[in-house]
Amino acid sequence: MTRMTPAQIEAYVDASAAALDLKLRPEHREGVLRYFQLAADMAALLDAAALDPHVEPAVNFVPVPAGHKAQA
């Protein structure tokens, strides 16, 4: 996966907003574009991680409460 260019991100955000009939206010646009770039960068990191064919996702994820200390 290659990094999206700013023009591609703008086009994607515009098309997605139009498809959802979502009116982006001008004062929010810069933040939306910045967040989308961040999300795309995180997705690229995950996509770049090599996984063996036998690696399977966990059945479920159960987070631990904040401050929980692991038992030794």
- State pLDDT tens for residues 5-57: 999 999 999 999 999 999 999 999 999 999 999 999 898 888 888 888 888 87
Q: Which two tokens stand for residue 20?
A: 């959802």
Burial 39-53 (b: 16+ CB within 10 A, else e): eeeeeeeeeeeeeee
Q: Does the pLDDT value for residue 1 go beyond 70?
A: no
The two tokens of residue 48 are 């770049």
What is this structure's pTM?
A: 0.65
**Helical H segments across 20-59, by residue range:** 26-48
Q: Distance between CA atoms of 11 and 18, rounded to whole angstroms?
A: 10
23 in Cβ contact with 17 (< 8 Å): yes
